[in-house]
Amino acid sequence: MNDSVLDSVQHYQAVAHAIHYIRANAKRQPTLKNIADAMGFSEYHLQRVFAAWAGVSAKRFLQYVTKARALEALRRSQDILSVSLDAGLSGPGRLHDLMVSCEAMSPGEIKTLGKGLEIGFGLANTPFGQALLGWTPRGICHLVFCDGDESVQAELLVSRWPESTLRRDDQAASLLSDRIFDKELERGKLHLVIRGTNFQIKVWEALLRVPSSRVVSYQQLATLAGVPSAQRAVGSALAANTVGYLIPCHRVIRSDGELGSFRWGVARKQAIQAWEACAGE
């Protein structure tokens, strides 16, 4: 892992702390000094960390973590999604602007629990904390964030593919993480191999059509997936996602602007959203 990504991990930890504080004190709209004091930082250091992490000032970043910004983003997404639907779901942001492609694992592969399949896996630092990555010769099949539970996450990967051959390679995982979280990722350079029910895959593929730096509601995503009355089932499909970030369940929020749940923590969800929004400016 290169030094810049390691620095970004440390910055994310500071950002996560700040987000927890902001959410807990949102009603009184804390100032930059309030946040810096709560974190034990000077205002200058807080500004420097945010600028290095997100590419914008702390004040600008904080605008992204407000409910008002979330509601505005939902309204903008409604226009984009309408265009996408009218165009046969081939509108803006389809498959991360073709940066990410995916295919479903075959029923045979799932039935045999990965027998004969070789899966590489390893731990790596990311801008949003440590993650466990898994990949096959055909593409990335696993990306989950860890919060001191690395062994538990590794056991879950093993339990999903008990008949496969798992080969640990943290160095390869680190190199893969660098590619995944490169803000200048080249088009078509990442391929996913996903495992799920037909319904889950339909939801995940619809989610891949949501442009980076945009958010959608559960209702909007259900409509994109062709199941407008299945909002609750859509939420369950998001909770079952084991390819975090690349299948961007962090882009789904409630219609009232609240963040809703996230498998890897609400602070991480909001941090990723803000990071993408800042990068898109």
Catalytic member of 141, 146, 249, 278: 249
193's torsion region: left (phi>0), alpha (psi -120 to 50) or beta?
A: beta
Can you tell me the distance from the alpha carbon of 157 to that of 244, in angstroms, rounded to the nearest whole number?
14
What is the amino acid identity at position 13? Q
pLDDT tens string for the chain (281 positions)?
445 555 667 777 887 788 778 777 776 778 888 888 988 889 888 888 877 777 777 777 777 777 777 777 777 776 656 655 544 444 434 334 446 778 888 777 788 887 888 999 999 999 898 999 999 999 999 999 998 888 899 998 989 888 889 999 999 999 999 999 886 655 457 899 998 999 999 999 888 888 777 889 999 899 888 898 898 999 999 999 999 999 999 999 998 888 888 999 988 998 888 888 777 65
| Whether the Cβ atoms of residue 244 and residue 144 lie closer than 8 Å to each other | yes
Can you tell me the distance from the alpha carbon of 61 to that of 96, in angstroms, rounded to the nearest whole number?
23
148's torsion region: left (phi>0), alpha (psi -120 to 50) or beta?
A: left
- Does the active-site annotation cover 249? yes
Sign of torsion, CA 106 111 112 117? positive
Ordered structural domains, the chain, with CATH: 3-65 (1.10.10), 90-263 (1.10.10.10)
Q: Longest C-alpha distance within the chain, in Å?
A: 58
